[in-house]
Amino acid sequence: MSRQLVAVLGRGVVATRDPIASADDMGLVRGDGCFDAMRVLDRDGVAEVENLAEHLARFARSAATLGIAFDEDGWRSLVADAAQAWPLTPEAVLKLVLTRGAESDPGMPTGFLTITELDLAAMRRARAGIGVRLLGRGYASDAFADAPWLLGGVKLLSYAVNSAAKRMAEGFGDDDALFTSTDGYALEGPTSAVIVRRGDRLLTTPSGATGILDSVTGRQIFARAAGEGVATSHELIAVTDLFDADDESQREFRQRFIPSGLANEILLDVYVRRVSFMPHEHSLNRRLYQAYAEEVRRVDSNHDGVISAAEGDIDAASDGFQDNSRLFLPATSFNRFAVTREINDGLLAPRFAPSQRAWVLQGAIAPVNPAVPASLDRDIDDR
């Protein structure tokens, strides 16, 4: 088991298994409280609590929003005592926890901290790069504007949703999740902020109306970047733009299979271009195979026989074209329709494709004129 230290506000460092709260503590039974977390590093034999002032300030803001009394001096001296008592490890996490206290004893908040050794091997793996799964948070990017009861920006104790999202992402084989809004923007991870490099700028999601946490790490990175002349900006980041990261290793990396426009080219090669495409080849199987290989080759820049999302990206160029828009047929070019999401596992949602016919549904079709755009949140290309 990793090493841990526990200290209680008003009592100091206690034995790890000492009781710290009563059974009717509102933090335990309602998640009614807040926390903050930061790293503790071994700096030449002294425990250094990283960015303590910023984390304490955010912790105090969380407590104020919740209307829970905050003893700033008490916390400062508790942290100092705990850091002194900590048997140094290369990296550890310090967690400050404040709850509304026992329901039977109103106005007496519970405060404690833990310092827990971090698993260095896991940290090293994470630093080498991770895969994330986009998971909908279920609200729009401005849901927290003028709605203080939603407690946006407060680092609430109730992290059950965040933990579930991480578990789900891991269940899909990814390392972590990235929450998205219903209007198609990247919000934050379950325990992390999102920063995107676009050209020579760094972008991050604004806090406030989005309800996301104001990240201390994000602020540190932005301050350092500004010091080095790198432009930074807080702005909403469309999920579709995440796939366009400039750093190749940060791009969408899944395979695209055969984009609709390319499938159409293959169809034309095999059946229509009988004079210009392999005029002497009459075997349908061989025409199909060669057409497939030929059309994929035009886009497949690393010659692995597969079109990756990066190679098939609509904004990228291939085969002498300025962009790859020719690879994707507009839905209206199919004299067919498809309905997404009528199966609720989210994995096999059908979409327009030349090989598909139609789904017969019950109910009436209501044609609209002019056409309306598809819903961004449900129909964007993230499946």
DSSP letter (8 states) at residue 52: H
Q: Is 193 in the site for ligand PLP (CB under 6 A)?
A: yes
Residue 181 binds ligand PLP (CB under 6 A): no
Length of the chain: 383
192 binds ligand PLP (CB under 6 A): yes
- The answer to whether 113 touches 51, Cβ cutoff 8 Å, is no
Nearer to ligand PLP, 27 or 218 (CB): 218
Q: How far is the CB of 246 from ligand PLP (least distance, A)?
A: 23
Toward ligand PLP, which CB reaches closer, 191 or 240?
Answer: 191
Instruction: Pick between residue 152 and residue 261 the one whose CB is nearest to ligand PLP.
Output: 152
Find the binding residues for ligand PLP in span 214-253 (CB under 6 A). 215-218
Nearer to ligand PLP, 165 or 266 (CB): 165
For ligand PLP, the binding residue among 188, 269, 311, 313 (CB under 6 A) is: 188
Q: Given candidates 6, 20, 37, 143, which one binds ligand PLP under the rule CB under 6 A?
A: 37
Residue type, 269: D
Pick the stretch among 96-104, 166-174, 189-197, 332-340 that binds ligand PLP (CB under 6 A): 189-197
Judged by DSSP in three states, 348 sits in: coil
Q: How far is the CB of 38 from ligand PLP (least distance, A)?
A: 7
Distance of CA 35 to the CA centre of its chain: 21
DSSP letter at 296? H
Whose CB is nearest to ligand PLP?
217
Burial 140-160 (b: 16+ CB within 10 A, else e): bbbbbeeeeeebbbbbbbeee
Q: Indicate the residue among 213 and 270 with the shorter CB distance to ligand PLP.
A: 213
CA 53 to chain centre: 27
Rg (CA), the chain: 27
Query: 350 Cβ partners below 8 Å, 6+ apart?
Result: 338, 339, 340, 342, 356, 359
The span from the CA of 31 to the CA of 44, in Å, is 38
Interface map 195-214 toward ligand PLP (x if CB under 6 A)? ------------------x-
Tokens in use for 336? 């067919």
Q: Kindly tell me which residue out of 65, 191, 232, 340 binds ligand PLP, with binding defined by CB under 6 A.
A: 191
| Residue 296 C-beta: closest distance to ligand PLP, Å | 40
114 binds ligand PLP (CB under 6 A): no
Shortest distance (Å) from residue 325 CB to ligand PLP = 36
Cα of first residue to Cα of last residue in the chain, in angstroms, is 39
For 80-95, letters b (16+ CB in 10 Å) and e give eebbeebeebeebebe
Q: Which residues bind ligand PLP (CB under 6 A)?
A: 37, 188, 191-193, 213, 215-218
